[in-house]
Amino acid sequence: MTSTRRLCPAWRHAAGACLAALLPLPSLAADEAAPRQALRVCQDPNNLPFSNQQGEGIENRIAELFGKALGMPATYYSFPQRLAFIRNTLRYKLPGQDFPCDIVMGVPVGYDQVSVTKPYYRSTYAMVFPQGKGLDQVRSSSDFLGLDPARLSKLRIGIYDRSPASDWLVKHGLVANGVPYQTMNADPQQYPGEIIEKDLATGKIDVAIVWGPIAGYFAKRIKSPAMSVVPMRSEPGVRFDYQMAMGVRHGEREWKQQIETLIDTKQPEITAILTEFGVPLVDESYASPKP
């Protein structure tokens, strides 16, 4: 199983950030007795396509869907998704005060800093490249690796450091092609789609390999040059696909069950939102082959 330390860098772009420093979980009480007055969401204020302060992200849309189903407003507590996000949002509580938020709308299955719900989608890392630049025949990572060696050796491949993409470059002898970007950036204005929207669009790099929702969303936003998105299958030694779920505090069993019921009943609407945002939705065939 992928360790939490290994999953964190991958999920920094799987759902926006490595949510917390790996700290011991505090002892939390069971569900509060007071009825909920709002769907209180922990979010990053500048992390499209997932969330932003204007409520324009995938997770904002799903939160509004859930809030309507629960008959209560969706409210947001914002904190940049850098280190200690969970500690400063979902688990943050001053003496005599309530928690500021109750749910994180996107966490990978297996993330142990929260109580993880059932998954609501599976996506995978994807290649993004401009059309009409000599890569139009690429429909898979195998096609990419099968390019003429002289052509392949000249391609500049943008990747986030410590991500599955960097492992993939190492495995296939393409380290020299890599153009690394920081996974953790202290600049609050930085957002993960910059690699596509700025550097790929302007030709600074030839290919970007990023988490699927980021790939699909920012490729759709760029009208010229038009972008191709190629989902990548996991392979031995490199995991690209992840199932995404939601996270609540440990010990809040009834709240978790309520959210899982919403995931079940609202799955068609959730899938429609994901599709609208260009998220590459994949099935288990994209998972790593079993030994």
- How high is the pLDDT of residue 291? 55
Nearest to 11 by CA among 104, 78, 92, 141: 104
Q: What is the reported pTM?
A: 0.88
- How high is the pLDDT of residue 255? 97
Cα Rg, the chain, nearest whole Å:
19
Q: What angle do CA 215, 77, 61 make, to 5 degrees?
A: 45
Q: Is 31 exposed, middle or buried (0-12, 13-18, 19+ CB in 10 A)?
A: middle
Give phi and psi for 81, each to the nearest 5: -80, 70
pLDDT of the chain along its 291 residues, tens only? 333 333 444 444 444 434 333 334 444 444 444 789 999 999 999 999 999 999 999 999 999 999 999 999 999 999 998 778 999 999 999 998 999 999 999 999 999 999 999 999 999 999 999 999 999 999 999 999 999 999 999 999 999 988 999 999 999 999 999 999 987 677 777 788 999 999 999 999 999 999 999 999 999 999 889 999 999 999 999 999 999 999 999 999 999 999 999 999 999 999 999 999 999 999 999 997 765
**Which domains are delineated in the chain?**
4-121+242-286 (3.40.190.10), 124-231 (3.40.190.10)
- How high is the pLDDT of residue 191? 82
Long-range Cβ contact pairs of 260-268 (< 8 A, separation 24 or more): 260/117, 260/118, 262/66, 262/69, 262/70, 263/117, 263/118, 263/120, 264/118, 265/69, 266/65, 266/66, 266/69, 267/120
- How high is the pLDDT of residue 142? 96
Token duo for residue 92: 């943050």
- How high is the pLDDT of residue 31? 45
